[in-house]
Amino acid sequence: MPVEITAHFQDIQLNNLIGSGSYGDVYEAKWQTQGREKCIAVKIIRNNSQVSESEKKKCKDDLRREIRNLQKFYHTNIVQLYGVSKDGNNRICLLLEHADCGSLHYFLHVTKKKKVTVVHKLNWMVQCARALEYLHKNKTFHRDLKPQNMLLYHNYCTLKLCDFGTVKQIRTNNTTGTGTYGYMAPEVADASSKYTEICDVFSYGIVFWEVMSRKKPFYDSEIKDPISIQKNLLQGKRPNIQDMKLNKDFNYLIKLIELCWNTKADMRPSMRSIANGLTNILI
């Protein structure tokens, strides 16, 4: 089924490039809609003629899936899709809620000067857990959780998940390896294994460590390439928990993160229990 176009491209004025991913470039933009100007983010999907037919098909499938999912989901911690347009080069454009504070990755590793408290970080992790709880309750899972796919809004107080091309319906026999090395659960990286929504809990554990330590997973190891990092994860190696430098009041977070990134999927807690546990601590 072709993608349904819901907005005119001439109503959109593209400004700065704010991010790039494997599927396209994201611009800050102004959109004239219902008699007023709205600040939005526009993700322009690349028409890559150099890739194979099977790659092209995969891109199309991911795009359709991303649009379908974003239209279906409605949650405070999931980025909103306002509409779909097509530019003069026939490229599909997603009109998204603009993240005024950029991505979590940008906050953690690029704008080094800005600091937030541990409680502020825990609030982000609760919001991320709530978004994942919602996806899992709706029989879908994200499969590519990483700080690049988490956006910050409202003076760094609100976190929302983005990039829904990999989001998938929960079936009994998911075996396609997808996601990003360094965050991917062992059962997802091992193409012969089956996996469930619990794979998101593994990635959540790695992101949790990254938020608390403000370091990239395996930043201090000799091994820098993503494939070797994933091999390390498969062999049971994990980021150094001491890097989080938490005082002993927060010892329970160490236990929680270690449970999340447990190799055995059935030992990991559900997103619901994580979200409820963290919320109780914060009240």
Ligand X SMILES: Nc1ncnc2c1ncn2[C@@H]1O[C@H](COP(=O)(O)OP(=O)(O)OP(=O)(O)O)[C@@H](O)[C@H]1O
Token digits for 32?
Answer: 């004239």
> Quick one: which of 183, 147, 145 has its CA closest to 165?
145
Q: Which is nearer to ligand X, 158 or 276 (CB)?
A: 158
Question: Shortest Cβ distance from residue 153 to ligand X (Å)?
Answer: 9
Query: Rounded to 5 degrees, what are φ and ψ at 36?
Result: -145, 170
Residue 139 annotated as lining a ligand binding site: no
| Residues annotated as part of the active site | 144
- C-alpha separations of 138 from 61, 73, 149, 265 in Å: 20, 9, 20, 20
- State the nearest-atom distance from the C-beta of 39 to ligand X, in Å: 10
Report residue 122 as tokens: 């825990």
The closest of 283, 252, 262, 157 to 202, measured between CA atoms, is 262
Least distance (Å) between residue 17 CB and ligand X: 9
Residue ranges in contact with ligand X by CB under 6 A: 18-24, 26, 41, 43, 79, 96-99, 103, 148-149, 151, 162-163, 165
Give the pairing type, strands 24-33 and 12-20.
antiparallel
- Mark the binding-site residues for ATP, compressed into ranges: 43
- Mark the binding-site residues, compressed into ranges: 43
